[in-house]
């Protein structure tokens, strides 16, 4: 019999960030949405690959460079096959790479909604006195840790703050206080 209930939350962001681009077709700054399709261009031995984005208003495209003038023999065959078949996992990995997108475009619209998959690891008997949550992030998210805990546990953020002040809520590894506005990052 364990007094500890251990649960794992696997957290995946729901909506890919959208670069804000000055659209030269419909005019003005518009969010561009990931099409989840790649374009691969082979010019002799040189390969370029882009992830295609479309203006949400006029469908105009923007190409997010993934490979730029790479020598074919330097590219893993599996990677090339994934690009050519619009592999969803590969598209997702690049579509959620906010840092890389921001380095090209500057302004990016981010979304904090996440999907949380919950799995009981052990414990949960009648005498449970403590809950241990293991958070696994598929990728970095802009969601704040206190907001995630409040929504998923169904309690207010002020209550979380009280727990933290009384040391009833402890975060490991130790870092900034969870109620101080720290975005949830990988463990
Ligand atoms: Zn447009």
Q: What is the DSSP string of 113-167?
A: -EEEEEEEEE---TT--EEEEEEEESS--S-BHHHHHHHHHT--HHHHHHHHHTT
Give the global pTM: 0.75
User: 95 C-alpha vs ligand 1 centroid, how far in Å?
Assistant: 19
User: 180 C-alpha vs ligand 1 centroid, how far in Å?
Assistant: 38
User: 61 C-alpha vs ligand 1 centroid, how far in Å?
Assistant: 8
* Reported confidence tier of residue 185, pLDDT bands at 50, 70, 90: very low
User: 19 C-alpha vs ligand 1 centroid, how far in Å?
Assistant: 12
User: 10 C-alpha vs ligand 1 centroid, how far in Å?
Assistant: 36
Q: pLDDT over 70 for what percent of the chain? A: 92
* Reported confidence tier of residue 3, pLDDT bands at 50, 70, 90: confident
What the block records as the tokens of 115 is 């999907």
What are the tens digits of pLDDT across the range 48-85?
Answer: 999 999 999 999 999 999 999 999 999 999 999 999 99
User: 99 C-alpha vs ligand 1 centroid, how far in Å?
Assistant: 23
């Amino acid at each position: 019999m364990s007094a500890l209930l251990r649960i794992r939350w696997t957290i995946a962001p729901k909506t890919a960030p959208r670069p804000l681009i000055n659209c030269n077709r419909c005019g003005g700054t518009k969010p561009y949405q990931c099409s989840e399709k790649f374009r691969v261009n082979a010019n002799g031995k040189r390969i370029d690959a882009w992830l295609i984005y479309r203006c949400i208003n006029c469908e105009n495209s923007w190409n997010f460079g993934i490979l730029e003038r790479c020598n074919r023999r330097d590219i893993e065959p599996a990677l090339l096959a994934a690009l050519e078949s619009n592999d969803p996992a590969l598209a997702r990995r690049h579509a959620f790479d906010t840092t890389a997108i921001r380095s090209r475009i500057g302004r990016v619209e981010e979304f904090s909604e996440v999907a949380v998959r919950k799995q009981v690891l052990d414990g949960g008997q009648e005498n449970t006195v403590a809950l241990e949550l293991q958070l696994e992030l598929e990728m970095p998210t802009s969601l704040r840790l206190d907001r995630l805990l409040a929504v998923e546990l169904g309690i207010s953020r002020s209550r979380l703050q009280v727990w933290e002040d009384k040391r009833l809520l402890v975060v490991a590894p130790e870092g900034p206080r969870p109620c101080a506005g720290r975005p949830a990052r990988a463990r």
